[in-house]
Amino acid sequence: MTVPVITVDGPSGVGKGTISHLLAQHFGFHFLDSGALYRLTALAALRRGVDLTDEGAVAAIATNLDVVFLHDSSGEVKILLENQDVSLDIRTEKAGNNASKVAVLPAVRAALLQRQRDFAEAPGLVADGRDMGTTVFSQASVKLFLTASAEVRAERRYKQLIEKGLDANLRGLIEEIEQRDERDRSRSTSPLRPADDAITLDTSNRSIEEVFAEALNHCEGIAPGH
């Protein structure tokens, strides 16, 4: 059975997570945070002392990733890696950079492919990532690609990190974001880019409400009764 899938791709800090969650909530769809899988793979590798450039060893870790996404009644998601809560550990900038490093390895991407596709269950899925529309769900019903300037994204990241009680430095964040974008865009397998049939939304100077309203317009007719 094919279920409706909405893909939301784009670089870090464009508001993908927020917009994807709002869409999933609105339609009552499942939600895939594909970046979390890359973050978890890197974390699990480092914890085992595996070098992040060792493609075979990191891919084996990705294949055997023991991860549980626990949804509590308030809608919060706890992420358990080998039964240990790593929800905060995977959200640091360092974890994001490490994720981006393992994400360049084709065998790692291949190892995570089916795991991501398995999230597409009734009544539907919102998939957040970099290659959701181009590779993982290339037949998706609606493909959105969010963009924003590096400065705006760094400022948003800065606020998110401070709110979570994590350390942050704005200038450092801009540099890290630019480096990570470059790595994500230039890798040979599934680089960050909009699918040919994606709709690009610039979120730079717009509120979440405005972007969400536009995203919803593009999803018309995707689920009965919505």
SS3 at position 218: helix
For ligand DC, which is the closer residue by CB, 21 or 180? 180
Smallest separation (angstroms) from ligand DC to the CB of 224: 28
Toward ligand DC, which CB reaches closer, 99 or 144? 99
Residues lying near ligand DC in the complex (CB under 6 A): 12, 34-35, 38-39, 96, 99-100, 103, 129-131, 180, 184
First to last CA, the chain: 21
Shortest gap between Cβ of 184 and ligand DC (angstroms)? Answer: 5
Lookup: tokens for 209: 């409400």
- Find the shortest distance in angstroms from Cβ 149 to ligand DC: 17
Cβ closest to ligand DC, residue 4 vs residue 11: 11
* Two structure tokens written together for 97: 């950079």
Q: Which residues of 102-131 are buried (b: 16+ CB within 10 A; e: fewer)?
A: bbbbebbbebbeebbeebbeeebbbbbbbb
The two three-digit tokens of residue 219, written as one number: 């999803």
CA–CA separation, 20 and 15 (whole Å): 8
**Considering beta carbons, is residue 89 or 223 the nearer one to ligand DC?**
89
H, E, C per residue of 27-68: HCCEEEEHHHHHHHHHHHHHHCCCCCCCHHHHHHHHHCCCEE
What is the C-alpha separation between 160 and 175, in angstroms, rounded?
Answer: 17
Residue nearest to ligand DC (CB): 35
Whose Cβ is closer to ligand DC: residue 4's or residue 96's? 96
Comparing CB distances to ligand DC, the nearer of 38 and 158 is 38
Q: Could you tell me the smallest distance in angstroms from the CB atom of residue 180 to ligand DC? A: 5
For residue 73, what is the DSSP state? T
We find the least distance from the C-beta atom of residue 62 to ligand DC, in angstroms, to be 12
CB 71 to ligand DC: min, Å:
18
Q: Rounded distance, CA 20 to CA 94, Å?
A: 23
